[in-house]
Amino acid sequence: MANAILKRTVEIVRDRLGHALDDVTIDRVAIGLFFTGVKLSTGHAGACATPVKDIPDAVCCPGSAMAMPFPGKLRGRRAADLLDEAMEQVGIRRTLGIATLNALAQMANEDRVDERIEIVEGLDAFAAAQVGVDDTVVVVGAFVPFLRELRRIGARHWVLEKDPSTLKPHEMPYFREAERAPEVVPEADVLIITGTTLANDTLGDLIALAKPSARIVVVGPTVTIIPDAFFERGCHILGGIKVTDADAFLDILSEGGSGYHFFGKSATKITLRKRL
């Protein structure tokens, strides 16, 4: 389903931009430790989580480096070409494709009004989910601010994570191995999923495990701010980003920065949700 969401979103972007897409090229690429960013010739930018642990070529030495898409060589390439890699490739090439898709989505969403969708800049996706003390929450990915807020509220919660080393000792009682998703996810009244699952093709499986009444939130810079395909497949809230200063944003990514470094400076949070 994750691939289906990508495919549908790419179709929407191509349809909205039409022939204008033909003239859009890649101006700059930054492959960072946490996120990869793409800036377009139009000035728009987008990001995707960098799959460092899943890149077999991310090792020394020259032989492996030959297979990597060097950022400098991508400058001037048609953005439309990288869209195809969002669906057809894996690893860092898919990452670049999704980052390009997210940049084009920001371009395609300008001045667009959809009465079915509420778009709120600066609103945190966790706040939009309106988690209550009586809710059981399952968080896919180590979202430290979300986990902190869940402990403050006192809501019953679990965190599914592939790498437990990303969690602090006081968070470990809530840890569940990612392989236990079929057991844990159906318990969720609120299911919060990292957008990285879009890149590794696990989003669809997680959505399918949720009970029908669950509120499903997909969040992170990897999330595309065109929500149609997500909402069509059961998601209720998307938490993405809007890049406000493309060059400063890519500078931060290239220096190993994350949301702590770019939110409120070169990017802002943006939440999209279905209108009741």
Domains detected in the chain: 2-108 (3.30.390.100), 117-243+264-274 (3.40.50.11590)
Q: 175-203 pLDDT, tens per residue?
A: 999 999 999 999 999 999 999 998 888 99
Query: Mean pLDDT throughout 254-258?
Result: 93
Q: Is-above-0.85 flag for pTM?
A: yes
In order of 52, 152, 183, 223, 259, the CA distances from 34 in angstroms are 8, 27, 29, 15, 9
Q: How confident is the model at residue 84 (pLDDT cuts 50, 70, 90)?
A: confident
Run of H or E including 49: strand 45-49
Q: pLDDT at residue 13 above 90? A: yes
What's the burial of 105, exposed, middle or buried (CB within 10 Å: 0-12/13-18/19+)? buried
Of 226, 153, 185, residue with least CA distance to 6: 226
pLDDT band at 52 (very low <50, low <70, confident <90, very high): confident
pLDDT (0 to 100) of residue 3 = 82
Report the chain's mean pLDDT, rounded to a whole number.
90
Higher pLDDT, 271 or 51: 271
Res 66 pLDDT > 60: no
Smallest CA-to-CA distance from 85 within 191, 7, 179 is with 7
Q: For position 186, what pLDDT does the model report?
A: 97
